Amino acid sequence: MADPVISGDDVFSHVCLGASDLATSTAFYDAALAPLGVKNMGPFGETIVLYGKTKPAFLVLKPGNGEAPSGNGVTLGFAAASPANVDAFHAAGLAAGGTCEGAPGARSHLPGAYAAYLRDPAGNKICSYTFV
- The answer to whether residue 8 is domain-embedded is no
Range with top average pLDDT, 4-8, 66-70, 98-102: 98-102
- The answer to whether residue 33 is domain-embedded is yes
| Total tally of structural domains belonging to the chain | 1
Report residue 30: phi and psi, to 5°.
Answer: -55, -45
Instruction: Identify the three-state secondary structure at position 101.
Output: strand
Decide: 71 and 132 in contact? Cβ < 8 Å: no
Q: How confident is the model at residue 3 (pLDDT cuts 50, 70, 90)?
A: low
Query: Could you list the residue range(s) of the whole structural domain that residue 42 is in?
Result: 15-63+74-131
- The answer to whether residue 4 is domain-embedded is no
Q: Kindly tell me the sign of the dihedral angle through the C-alpha atoms of 73, 74, 79, 83.
A: negative
- The answer to whether residue 57 is domain-embedded is yes
- pLDDT score for 4: 55
- pLDDT score for 32: 98
pTM tops 0.85, yes or no: yes
- The answer to whether residue 117 is domain-embedded is yes
- The answer to whether residue 102 is domain-embedded is yes
- The answer to whether residue 10 is domain-embedded is no
Q: How far apart are CA 95 and CA 88, in angstroms?
A: 10
- pLDDT score for 5: 56
* pLDDT over 50 (residue 1): no
User: Can you give the CATH number for the domain in which 33 is found?
Assistant: 3.10.180.10
- pLDDT score for 88: 98
- The answer to whether residue 100 is domain-embedded is yes
Q: What is the pLDDT of residues 41-97, one digit of tens each?
A: 999 999 999 999 999 999 999 988 888 777 777 899 999 999 999 999 999 999 999
* pLDDT over 80 (residue 24): yes
Q: What is the pLDDT of residues 10-20, one digit of tens each?
A: 667 889 999 98
- pLDDT score for 63: 87
